[in-house]
Amino acid sequence: MRIIHTADWHLGRRLRGIDRTPEIAAALQQLLKQAIAEEVDAVLIAGDIFDVPNPPAYAERIAYRFFCDLQEAGIPAIAIAGNHDSHARIDSIAQLLSLAGVRALGKPRTAADGGSMTLNTKSGKLCVGAMPFASEQRLLDADALWHADDVERRQSYREVVAYLLEDLASDFRDNTVNVLMGHMSVDGARIAHSEVPYYTRDKYLLSSQALPAAAQYMALGHIHIHQRIAANSPAYYSGSLIQLDFGEAEQQKGFCLISVEPGSKPAVEFKPLLAHKPLKVIQCHIDTLDETLEAHQYHPGYLKVIVQMESPSMGLADRVRQICPQALLVEPRYSEVPQERQKRAVNIDPNHFEPAEEFFNYYQSRLGLTPKSSVLEEFSNLYNKQKETNLSN
């Protein structure tokens, strides 16, 4: 049996005002072509189909078109909600999606309540224990949330998740290919820092010991870097479908192709996808800025430019974009400020607040430089203009 494992599409994603959906749509078309060429038996989507709970219509259209194309190719799919998706929205359209051959699950359920799904594929039976993203509020009752302390809540959440995962594995049989699919953060995974930090740590960070040993393969979503959890573990993150943020710049993106039979260990292959707009981070000193930019002016994707400098330079972003208009982010970085100046505290008396003086202190503390009179004058003009605007409103 051959299975595709993909996750973290984030349709509707924007980066510095740029809509990334066309790139995601192009990646999905590549995935579809490979699914057909590889004659896969099923496609598993491990959450974060969309970037926001209420996605734009064009993002939904791309997802549903992909599902219909899979159906036309005779390939069934199972999809679960991630932390970016609306679990209620996914559940509400699950019956409609079933008409396109997609089994969708929005909120966590036990095996008996629909959390376990069995597909009759052309190569045999596939049993999938599906675990959508589970928020603490959905899993713990009000009494536990209000009256237990933080440590107790953290442990209670992990215990409930571990129980549900074991329950989902209760439907696994010797004559089926047994897969656990979940949208979760597992201890030991390398994060890309483009994930929502709150949902990757503390109570949401699950021990790998909570993953059922009965699963032949574990298809995980939520972490954007493709990786295997441990050398002897069948748990894999497929990673995001495209480079979603500059923390993922130059990472190879794609999906997992799994070949497996009942009772056997899976053979897992990462299949890369072509990036239409690859992200790249370049660093240079202000003295070599133009030469560095000229070397990257034909980069087909988007750039983040980090410029090392001694003091602020007016018009830096405009200078960068004259040569590299595809630079979405220009970040100045200054030489280290002397330690004693970094530690100097600024005491603010709200009854005697002098904006220009506090700006002067901040400028010195942050940069270790004395601001020019023209900079102070411009700050005062901006402050007074903003103050007048607030008073008129």
C-alpha of 271 from chain center: 19
Query: What is the band of 153 on the pLDDT scale with cuts at 50, 70, 90?
Result: low
Q: Do 189 and 111 fall within a single domain?
A: yes
Query: What is the spatial distance between Cα 213 and Cα 209, in angstroms, rounded to a whole number?
Result: 9
With tokens 């970016």, the residue in question is: 84
Question: Is 185 among the domain residues?
Answer: yes
Cβ neighbour number for residue 112 with a 10 Å cutoff: 10
307 beta partners: 284, 332
Question: Is 342 among the domain residues?
Answer: no
C-alpha of 114 from chain center: 27
Q: Do 165 and 291 fall within a single domain?
A: no
Q: What is the pLDDT of residues 254-295, one digit of tens each?
A: 999 999 999 999 999 999 999 999 999 999 999 999 999 999
**Cα 271–130–206 angle (5° rounding)?**
85
Q: Does residue 352 register a pLDDT over 80?
A: no
Query: What is the spatial distance between Cα 74 and Cα 79, in angstroms, rounded to a whole number?
Result: 16
Q: Which pLDDT score is estimated for 336?
A: 61
Query: What is the spatial distance between Cα 374 and Cα 168, in angstroms, rounded to a whole number?
Result: 67
Q: Do 289 and 389 fall within a single domain?
A: no
Q: Do 8 and 56 fall within a single domain?
A: yes
- Specify the range with the lowest mean pLDDT, choosing from 40-49, 243-252, 372-381: 372-381
- What three-state secondary structure class fits 361? helix
Among residues 272, 292, 308, which one ends one of the domains? 272
C-alpha closest to that of 188 among 228, 243, 232: 228
Among residues 240, 272, 304, which one ends one of the domains? 272
Question: Is 85 among the domain residues?
Answer: yes
Q: Do 163 and 301 fall within a single domain?
A: no
Q: Do 328 and 390 fall within a single domain?
A: no
Q: Which pLDDT score is estimated for 341?
A: 45
Q: At 381, which helix (H) or strand (E)?
A: helix 373-392
Query: What is the spatial distance between Cα 392 and Cα 170, in angstroms, rounded to a whole number?
Result: 66
Among residues 256, 272, 288, which one ends one of the domains? 272
C-alpha of 327 from chain center: 22
Q: Please write down the long-range contacts of 249-254, taking CB distance under 8 Å and 24 or more positions apart.
A: 249/278, 249/279, 249/280, 249/281, 249/304, 250/278, 250/279, 250/280, 250/281, 251/192, 251/225, 251/226, 252/226, 253/27, 253/226, 254/226
Q: Does residue 393 register a pLDDT over 60?
A: no
* 8 A C-beta contact, residue 271 and residue 257: yes
Question: Is 64 among the domain residues?
Answer: yes
Q: Which pLDDT score is estimated for 142?
A: 44
Q: Do 217 and 264 fall within a single domain?
A: yes
* 8 A C-beta contact, residue 350 and residue 373: no
Question: Is 390 among the domain residues?
Answer: yes
Contacts of 13 (CB under 8 A, 6+ apart): 19, 20, 21, 24, 51, 244
Burial of 390 (0-12, 13-18, 19+ CB in 10 A): exposed
Q: What is the pLDDT of residues 171-184, one digit of tens each?
A: 999 999 999 999 99
Beta strand ranges found along 242-366 (DSSP E): 254-259, 267-272, 279-285, 302-309, 327-334
Amino acid identity for residue 350 in this structure:
P
Task: Provide the domain limits for residue 285.
Answer: 278-335
Tokens of 278: 């690859």
Q: Do 259 and 309 fall within a single domain?
A: no
Q: Do 254 and 146 fall within a single domain?
A: yes
Domain count, the chain: 3
List helix spans (H) across 14-149.
Answer: 21-37, 57-72, 87-92, 94-98, 136-139, 142-147
Q: What is the pLDDT of residues 231-262, one digit of tens each?
A: 889 999 999 999 999 999 999 999 999 999 99
Q: Do 22 and 129 fall within a single domain?
A: yes
* pTM: predicted TM-score of the whole model, two decimal places: 0.82
Q: Identify which has the larger pLDDT, 254 or 201.
A: 254
C-alpha closest to that of 132 among 115, 107, 112, 111: 107
